[in-house]
A and B are shown apart, each in its own frame.
Chain A
Amino acid sequence: MSVPYRQDMPPTGGFEAIRYKRYLPYKGPSGAVIFGAFFLVSAYGLYRVGMGNREKRELLREKQWARIHLVPILMAEADRNLVRREYVALEREKELMKNVKGWQPGGKVYHSDKYIPPSIQI
């Protein structure tokens, strides 16, 4: 009784691949991706800050021009008020000093023709 000769062969389809690689769990995006995302987000934020600053300057200009347009009205009104007050102050002075000889009502304290606003409330 003899066993027929048979060459020992690999199984059909070949051997299974040997698992020699390390199989580690996925730990998130790579450093480059995180850095890139951070860079993009920061760039967008800075862009918005810049545009916001531009807008802020425009808002400031808007406010300044609104005030510039109102200056003449307020100034005119204040002028009329001051003229009335100066007139009344002069009349009051005339009345008070009428018994003083040689008194010049409405005399100036400054040796100048330039207009100097009163330093006290009149």
Chain B
Amino acid sequence: MAELKDPLPPVQELGATSGPLKSAAYFIGDRCKEFNEDFMLCKNESRAPEHCLQEGRKVTRCAQEVLTNLRAACAAEFETHWQCLEQNNHYYYKCRREERPLNTCAFTKIGYKKEIPGTTEGQTPIHEVKMPYYRPQQK
């Protein structure tokens, strides 16, 4: 069979594993909200994979940008946090000590903030609680 050419325009795939993705999930959700919602609305129109390729490329490029910025600005904090998630079954509550520096760094340097949608008004978001009930057993 002859060499086949790629039917799709080139886009760099993320290539990130679950740890970095989960660590950066809220920053991606914060920065790429419009692209993500656009893509999901498009998927709602039709589930055919070729229907939303353009929107999908935008989503991937945006996430790529977030990861690149994060690695450029907060490499050490990012690395520590996602390594912690990898070691701790991907539980956010076991990695608050690693998460806080990452959040402050991302917010001060590149303006990404972690916000959980639908948190009750006036309630401390779960990732900022000082004395949580659920915490890692071994410190």
Query: Which residues of chain A have a CB within 8 Å of any CB of chain B?
Result: 48, 51-52, 55-56, 58-59, 61-63, 65-73, 75-80, 82-84, 86-88, 91-92, 95, 115, 117
Contact = CB atoms under 8 A, between A and B. Distances in A.
Contacts of B132: 55
B4 A83 contact: no
30 contacts: A48-B133, A51-B133, A52-B134, A55-B126, A55-B129, A55-B133, A59-B126, A62-B92, A65-B26, A65-B116, A66-B22, A66-B25, A69-B28, A69-B29, A70-B21, A70-B22, A70-B28, A71-B36, A73-B21, A73-B28, A73-B63, A77-B14, A79-B50, A79-B53, A83-B7, A83-B50, A84-B6, A88-B4, A91-B1, A95-B1
Given A61-B116, A65-B26, A55 B1 contact: no
A63 B127 CA distance: 11
A80 B133 CA distance: 43
A115 B26 CA distance: 32
